[in-house]
Amino acid sequence: MAKRKNRTYLKKKITRKSFFKSVLYGAGGIIFTGLLDSKAFGQLLENKPKAKSVIQIWMWGGPPHLDTFDPKPDAGKDYCGPLNRPIDTNVPGIKIGQLLPLLAKQADKYSLLRGMTHGNTGHETAAYMVQTGRKPGEGLVYPGMGAVVSLFRGQPPEYKGALPPYITVTTPQGRFSECGFMASKYKPFSTGGDPSREPFAVEGIVSETVSEERQKTRKEFLKNIDSFTRSMMEDPLVKVIESCQEQAYSMILGEARRGFLLNEETKETRDLYGRNRFGQSCLLAKRLVERGVPYITINYGGWDTHKRHFEAMNQKLPEFDKALSALIQDLTDKKLLDSTIVICGGEFGRTPRISWEDPWYGGRSHYGKAFSYFVAGGGFKGGQVVGKTDGTGENVIERPIYPWDLIVSMYELLGIDKNAKLPHPQGLTAYANPYTAGVISAKETGGMLKEIM
Amino acid sequence: MSLKNFEFKAVIAVLAVFGVLFAIGAEPPEQPKYQKYFDNFKQNNKIDELVLNVLKSRDIPPSETCPDDVFLRRACLDLTGTIPTSQEARNFLGDKDPKKRAKLIDRLLSKNEFAVYWSMKWGDLLRIKAEFPSNLWPNAAQAYARMVKDRIQNNTPYDKFVRELLTTSGSNFRDPAVNFYRAFQERSPQLLAENAVQNFMGLRLAESGLTENQILGMAAFFTKVGYKGTEEWKEEIIFFNPAGKPLTDKEGKPVLPTPLNGKAFEIPADTDPRLVFADWLTSPKNPWFARNIVNRVWYWLMGRGIVHEPDDMRAENAPWSSELLKYLENELIAQNFDLKHIYRLILNSNTYQLSAKSNEGNDEDEDGFSHYRVRRLEAEVIIDAICQITGTGESYQSAIPEPFTFLPNNQRAIDIADGSITSPVLEMFGKPPRNTSFESERNSVPSVTQVQHLLNSSSIERKIVNGRLIQQLISQRKNDVNLVDELYLRILSRFPTEEEKKLALAYLTDTKRRANESATDIAWALINTSEFILKH
Residues sharing a CB contact under 8 Å with residue B61, sequence separation 6 or more, in sequence order: B34, B37, B38, B55, B359, B360, B361, B362, B370
Buried b (16+ CB within 10 A) or exposed e, B323-349: ebbbbbbebbbeeebbbbbbbbbbbbb
Which chain B residues are Cβ-neighbours of A137 within 8 angstroms?
Answer: 133, 185-186
- Nearest residue on chain B to A60, judged by CA atoms? B399
Q: Report in angstroms the alpha-carbon separations of B350 from A244, A363, B43.
A: 33, 66, 6
Residue B493 sits at φ, ψ, to 5 deg, of 60, 30
* Helix pair angle (B212-219, B189-201), 10° resolution: 90
> By the 8 A CB rule, do A83 and A63 touch?
no
Which chain A residues are Cβ-neighbours of B442 within 8 angstroms?
Answer: none
How far apart CA B109 and CA B363 sit, in angstroms, is: 31
- CA distance to partner chain B, nearest, from residue A98 (Å): 30
Q: Report in angstroms the alpha-carbon separations of A148 from A54, A59, A378, B61, B438.
A: 12, 20, 17, 45, 22
SS (H, E, C) A19-54: HHHHHHHHCCCCCCCCCCHHHHCCCECCCCCCCCEE
Answer yes or no: do A128 and B132 touch at CB < 8 A.
Answer: yes
pLDDT of res. A9: 34
Q: Specify the amino acid at residue A445.
A: T
Give the gyration radius of chain B's Cα atoms: 27
How far apart CA B386 and CA B394 sit, in angstroms, is: 10
Answer yes or no: do B530 and A217 touch at CB < 8 A.
Answer: no
Answer yes or no: do A252 and B30 touch at CB < 8 A.
Answer: no
Buried b (16+ CB within 10 A) or exposed e, A106-140: bbebbbbbbbbbbebbbbbbbbbbbbbbbbbeeeb
> By the 8 A CB rule, do A89 and A107 touch?
yes
> By the 8 A CB rule, do A190 and A203 touch?
yes
- Nearest residue on chain A to B448, judged by CA atoms? A244
Answer yes or no: do B449 and A189 touch at CB < 8 A.
Answer: yes
Which chain A residues are Cβ-neighbours of B446 within 8 angstroms?
Answer: 27, 237, 240-241, 244
Per-residue pLDDT of B227-280, as tens digits, reads: 999 999 999 999 999 999 999 999 999 999 999 999 999 999 999 999 999 999
Peptide bond into B309 cis (omega under 30): yes
Which chain B residues are Cβ-neighbours of A425 within 8 angstroms?
Answer: 438, 440-441
Residues sharing a CB contact under 8 Å with residue B188, sequence separation 6 or more, in sequence order: B219
Phi-psi region of B517 (alpha: psi -120 to 50; beta: other; left: phi over 0): alpha
User: Residue A204: which of B401, B453, B536 has the nearest Cβ?
Assistant: B453
Distance of CA B496 to the CA centre of its chain: 29
How far apart CA A344 and CA A112 sit, in angstroms, is: 10
Answer yes or no: do A27 and B504 touch at CB < 8 A.
Answer: no
What is the β-pairing status of strands A189-190 and A166-169?
parallel
- Nearest residue on chain B to A206, judged by CA atoms? B456
SS3 call for A95: strand
Which chain A residues are Cβ-neighbours of B499 within 8 angstroms?
Answer: 227
How far apart CA A86 and CA B404 sit, in angstroms, is: 35
% helix, strand, coil for chain A, step of 5: 40, 15, 45
Q: Report in angstroms the alpha-carbon separations of A439 from A17, A136, A138, A435, B509.
A: 38, 11, 8, 7, 67
Answer yes or no: do B452 and A205 touch at CB < 8 A.
Answer: yes
> By the 8 A CB rule, do B60 and A32 touch?
no
- CA distance to partner chain B, nearest, from residue A157 (Å): 21
Peptide bond into A436 cis (omega under 30): no
Partners of residue A202 on adjacent β-strands: A206
- For A32-202+266-452, CATH gives 3.40.720
> By the 8 A CB rule, do A183 and A19 touch?
no
Q: Report in angstroms the alpha-carbon separations of A128 from A178, A425, B262, B485.
A: 9, 20, 42, 50
> By the 8 A CB rule, do A202 and B449 touch?
no
- Nearest residue on chain A to B30, judged by CA atoms? A2
Domain coordinates of chain A in residue numbers?
A: 32-202+266-452, 207-260
SS3 call for B250: coil
> By the 8 A CB rule, do B534 and B372 touch?
no
Residues sharing a CB contact under 8 Å with residue A7, sequence separation 6 or more, in sequence order: none
What is the β-pairing status of strands A371-376 and A295-299?
unpaired
pLDDT of res. A173: 74
- CA distance to partner chain B, nearest, from residue A135 (Å): 11
Tens digit of each residue's pLDDT, chain B (536 residues): 444 454 555 555 555 555 444 445 455 555 578 999 999 999 999 999 999 999 999 999 999 999 999 999 999 999 999 999 999 999 999 999 999 999 999 999 999 999 999 999 999 999 999 988 888 999 999 999 999 999 999 999 999 999 999 999 999 999 999 999 999 988 999 999 999 999 999 999 888 788 999 999 999 999 999 999 999 999 999 999 999 999 999 999 999 999 999 999 999 999 999 999 999 999 999 999 999 999 999 999 999 999 999 999 999 999 999 999 999 999 999 999 999 999 999 999 999 999 999 999 998 888 899 999 999 999 999 999 999 999 999 999 887 676 777 888 889 999 999 999 998 899 889 999 898 999 988 988 899 899 999 999 999 999 999 998 888 888 888 889 999 999 999 999 999 999 999 999 999 999 899 888 999 999 999 999 999 999 99
User: Residue A125: which of B132, B357, B374 has the nearest Cβ?
Assistant: B132
User: Residue B448: which of A28, A124, A215 has the nearest Cβ?
Assistant: A28
Residue A111 sits at φ, ψ, to 5 deg, of -125, 155
- CA distance to partner chain B, nearest, from residue A324 (Å): 26
User: Residue A244: which of B185, B448, B456 has the nearest Cβ?
Assistant: B448
Q: Report in angstroms the alpha-carbon separations of B157 from B123, B154, B163, B278, B457.
A: 18, 9, 10, 14, 44
Which chain A residues are Cβ-neighbours of B440 within 8 angstroms?
Answer: 425-426
Which chain A residues are Cβ-neighbours of B436 within 8 angstroms?
Answer: 141, 181
SS (H, E, C) B335-358: CCCCHHHHHHHHHHCCCCCECCCC
- CA distance to partner chain B, nearest, from residue A422 (Å): 16
Residue A385 sits at φ, ψ, to 5 deg, of -120, 130
- Nearest residue on chain A to B190, judged by CA atoms? A139
Residues of chain A with pLDDT under 70: 1-47, 174-176
Answer yes or no: do A136 and B500 touch at CB < 8 A.
Answer: no
User: Residue A221: which of B401, B497, B507 has the nearest Cβ?
Assistant: B507
SS3 call for B127: coil
The CA angle A30-A33-A38, to the nearest 5 degrees, is 95
**Residue A76, CB-side half-sphere exposure with 13 Å CA sphere:** 4
Answer yes or no: do A181 and B435 touch at CB < 8 A.
Answer: yes
> By the 8 A CB rule, do B238 and B170 touch?
yes
How far apart CA A68 and CA A352 sit, in angstroms, is: 12
Sign of CA dihedral B30, B34, B36, B38: negative
Answer yes or no: do B443 and A241 touch at CB < 8 A.
Answer: no
Answer yes or no: do A237 and B440 touch at CB < 8 A.
Answer: no
Neighbour tally for B224: CB within 10 Å: 22
Answer yes or no: do B448 and A141 touch at CB < 8 A.
Answer: no
- Nearest residue on chain A to B131, judged by CA atoms? A124
What does the longest C-alpha to C-alpha distance in chain B come to?
95
- CA distance to partner chain B, nearest, from residue A334 (Å): 30
Give the gyration radius of chain A's Cα atoms: 24
Q: Where are the alpha helices (DSSP H) in A105-195?
A: 123-132, 145-153
Answer yes or no: do A136 and B185 touch at CB < 8 A.
Answer: yes
Buried b (16+ CB within 10 A) or exposed e, B425-442: bbbbbbbbbbbbbbbebb
* Helix pair angle (B448-456, A236-252), 10° resolution: 60
User: Across the A/B interface, how many CB contacts are shorter than 8 Å?
Assistant: 200
pLDDT of res. A10: 34
- CA distance to partner chain B, nearest, from residue A430 (Å): 15
Q: Where are the alpha helices (DSSP H) in A253-346?
A: 267-273, 277-290, 309-333
Answer yes or no: do A226 and B363 touch at CB < 8 A.
Answer: no
pLDDT of res. A37: 41
Answer yes or no: do B366 and A16 touch at CB < 8 A.
Answer: yes
Length of chain A in residues, anyone? 453
> By the 8 A CB rule, do A335 and A354 touch?
no
Mutation pick from A173, A221, A240, A252 vs chain B, by most beta carbons of B within 10 Å, is A221
Answer yes or no: do B448 and A240 touch at CB < 8 A.
Answer: no
Length of chain B in residues, anyone? 536
